[in-house]
Amino acid sequence: MEQQEISYKKGDIIALTIIDPAEKEQCFGRTPEGMGVMVTGMLAPGDRVSATIYKVRPRYLEAKAIEVLEASPDRVEPVCPVFGFCGGCKWMHVSYEAQLRFKHKKVEDALVHLGGFENPQVKPVIPAPDPFHYRNKVEFSCSNHRYLLPSEMLQAELSRPKHFALGFHAPGNFEKVLDLDTCYLAKPCMNKVLSVVRDFALTRGLAPYAAKTHEGYLRNLMLRYSERYDQLMVNIVTSWYDKAVMQELKAQLEAALPNQTMTILNNVTTRKNTVATGEQEYLVSGEGFVTERLGDLDFRISANSFFQTNTRQAETLYDQIIDVGGITPEDTVYDLYCGTGTITLYLARHCKQAIGIEVVASAIRDAAMNAELNALSNTVFFQADLKDFHAMQEALAPYASPRIIVTDPPRAGMHPKALDTMLKLQPDRIVYVSCNPANLARDGKEIAARGYRITSVQPVDMFPQTNHIETVACFERME
């Protein structure tokens, strides 16, 4: 007797077990008949759930979770009371050991299914020593529209004002902000500043920025912390400069954190966006920067310069680059997408010459300054577009060809022309640093097609409680 084909329609309720995490707030499971289902909700692999189908596609279903019928053994109670509403920590409901397993599988699956690599030898993920309070940079947004939690919808009287919020944007909402007391990824001193600035703004009646009308004074609060030197940067982003307000806030912050080395800045912008950078910068107190140490190198970090957000794991990541690259004192190494030169300078201690290449002029200036700060004379920094091979050839003509190239591209991966430029330089080894396994797999497939084999894949967990993973992969040229 022929088995009757089961068809599903929008609105059907199904029960299934979650198999794998996916991107954003989705997980993957299968119906009892084996059809794939992308399920939206804060779920964990191993959860058995009921879900409502909201879209039927030819090869899979899309559904929204209704209820967890049986919890996964990997589930834990999130420490954050606003977990699930704030878009930052998407995996806080999963044990840290399980997070590391899932991230390992994410890298492995991408290399196999997207890159076409057969049985890639992905090493166990190097865990972070601090799964919480590890971020050295946090950006809070201010809004005149506070995101209301479901529990608040039923309250006749709210304990917090509706028209002021300082925290993180609700996922997918450019206007509403979730008012936070504590971010469990931020340093304790950062959370103290958050509390002081919020209280000061409410007491002083400072108008929060309105993303729709582009009115209001207080826009962002950006904080940086130097773990090695215990220095704190407070950068208040506003729509105009008010010296009196800044001096009052300075007094409040210094009173609340009397033993904290601190610099306070006011970035001012009139741009109609919510990005926490200014067109003008005013120094309120301190030196205007913090200094962080990686290995035996110091890096001066200004308000708008790039620096890895997890200081302790950044050292681990950079040590892995040196290790898998097999860098020797005789090598010339190119560092593509060098930014402010942190990797270039870290490599320079181990090789004959390190050459950093970056298209952003301000980053190159910061890189040169950091080289001078550390008295490293075997570094060179170029502002160049990696997509233009001939211009690169001309600029690099006076220097030795690289035996090793390190590339740390943005999350979107390497532009095809930039990838082509790198491969035309024909290094013996390519060390590819990636925060996106899918793009590592895509670019890795092209690198392999051009005569290289993948020899090492080392994931490093820079971002606990999130679904992001950093990976250091090494490709060797085949003779």
- The confidence band for 156, taking pLDDT boundaries of 50, 70 and 90, is confident
- The confidence band for 5, taking pLDDT boundaries of 50, 70 and 90, is low
User: What residue spans define the domains of the chain?
Assistant: 13-70, 101-130+310-477, 137-294
Q: What are phi and psi of 239, to 5 degrees?
A: -85, -20
> Which are the contacts of 428, defined by CB distance < 8 A and separation ≥ 6?
403, 404, 476, 477
Q: Give me the percent of the chain exceeding a pLDDT of 70.
A: 99
Tell me if 101-130+310-477 shares its fold with 137-294. no
CB 209 within 8 A of CB 142: yes
Report how far Cα 164 is from the mean position of its chain's Cα atoms. 27
Count the alpha carbons within 13 Å of 303 in the hemisphere toward its beta carbon.
28
**Residue 436 and residue 409: Cα distance in Å, rounded?**
10
**Residue 477 and residue 146: Cα distance in Å, rounded?**
54
**Residues acting as catalytic residues:** 435
Domain 137-294 bears CATH identifier 2.40.50.1070 = yes
pTM of whole model > 0.75?
A: yes
Number of Cβ within a 10 Å radius of residue 467: 18
Mean pLDDT, rounded, of the chain: 93
Q: Is 17 buried (19+), middle (13-18) or exposed (0-12) by CB count in 10 A?
A: middle
Model confidence pLDDT, tens digit, residues 68-118: 999 999 999 999 999 988 878 999 999 999 999 999 999 999 999 999 999
Domain 13-70 bears CATH identifier 3.50.50.60 = no
- The confidence band for 1, taking pLDDT boundaries of 50, 70 and 90, is very low
**pLDDT above 50 (res 39):** yes
Q: What are phi and psi of 427, to 5 degrees?
A: -70, 160
**Residue 454 and residue 477: Cα distance in Å, rounded?**
9
Model confidence pLDDT, tens digit, residues 394-412: 888 899 999 999 999 988 8
**Residue 354 and residue 374: Cα distance in Å, rounded?**
14
Q: Give me the percent of the chain exceeding a pLDDT of 90.
A: 80
Q: Hey, CA dihedral for 89, 94, 99, 103, is it positive or negative?
A: negative
Model confidence pLDDT, tens digit, residues 238-272: 999 999 999 999 999 999 999 999 999 999 999 88
**pLDDT above 50 (res 65):** yes
- The confidence band for 157, taking pLDDT boundaries of 50, 70 and 90, is confident
CB 472 within 8 A of CB 123: no
Our separate counts of H helices and E strands in the chain read: 10, 21
Q: Report domain 101-130+310-477's class.
A: alpha beta
pLDDT of the residue at 233 = 98
**Residue 49 and residue 41: Cα distance in Å, rounded?**
10
